[in-house]
Structure 1
């Protein structure tokens, strides 16, 4: 299967089966999403959704958060991964938003990455989710699934390489959706250790599945070319 055909089949399937994908993080405005995404690094969305309601209630704006301090904010965050660093990041982020951006969430990747706790992945999430910009955030799910499917070459060893491949070959208008397609497929079907290939609806375009089938045929474990 040619790369162009693989991409087209991928887009066709998810456009039909998941036309309006959404992040599983709870939020009501760009500020809340930014807080949630910063907290979600190396942590589950489920855990983040448990702690953010209290944060959003008691620190409803960047101005409220900017006037807080470590000892006040830390108890809200203690149950997530790396709570010390994330507490510092949130406080620094809020203060910079107030001082440099008038309390408004910037809408470009280059501006967002100036904020404490915001790297390229987080900036891509914010711009693609809030403003539907054609930016691709590459987390572990996107990295794994895109390579397994064969959307990006196995030689792509960094998130940036994967991001550039995906944004190059995906139609611009679906890039913000494809981010969610890859994450959700990786979260619920194409699991890291035990991918659910038996129930996966896109094995016909999956290079990982094709490779495993050929290996099993060679070993005589399934019908096909058996060793002589």
Structure 2
């Protein structure tokens, strides 16, 4: 019974957030099997990321700034971006700007869910710490995914230098925000909560705006309106 409770508390935040982002797709919902596949990609990259991070710590040392910006944020966001670009970016199902947000959030939540499961399993965490992890690390990964996917959605439907510009932003901005998040946790051992909470509020506020703007740029928006008028 305890094992079931630990697993359920670890899985619930990621799956709940994934459902939320899936339902936020207003005009042309993605095939559920595609969203699940991308979520599973996030699950599968956990162990390569852990190996890379372990090697970098042995090579670079255990410095909090280096760990925050490069070992943690750098490796995790680059691997997620790499999978998004090479597997999802040119996929036929990526046919509206919001799809970038959904798929980037899915891969991020796949990663965050396994990370949460490992934490719960090895620490045997109680409800309080797991609830805090749902509000902070899992939610944080979701917001980094929203930022990445928003700019990938821009890049998908532009050409030339603007495409390269938005692709660069889709990697650099989530890396920056993730690095800032980790720096706060690693450098402010006793007062981190006073900085993390405003940061998360800012990320969610910005993320909701990005979701709305991405949906408003959907090519299916006017088709759906015409269907509603005709019915």
> Structure 2-normalised TM-score?
0.28
Q: Which has the higher helix share?
A: 2
Q: Which of structures 1 and 2 has the bigger CA Rg?
A: 1
TM-score (norm 1): 0.28
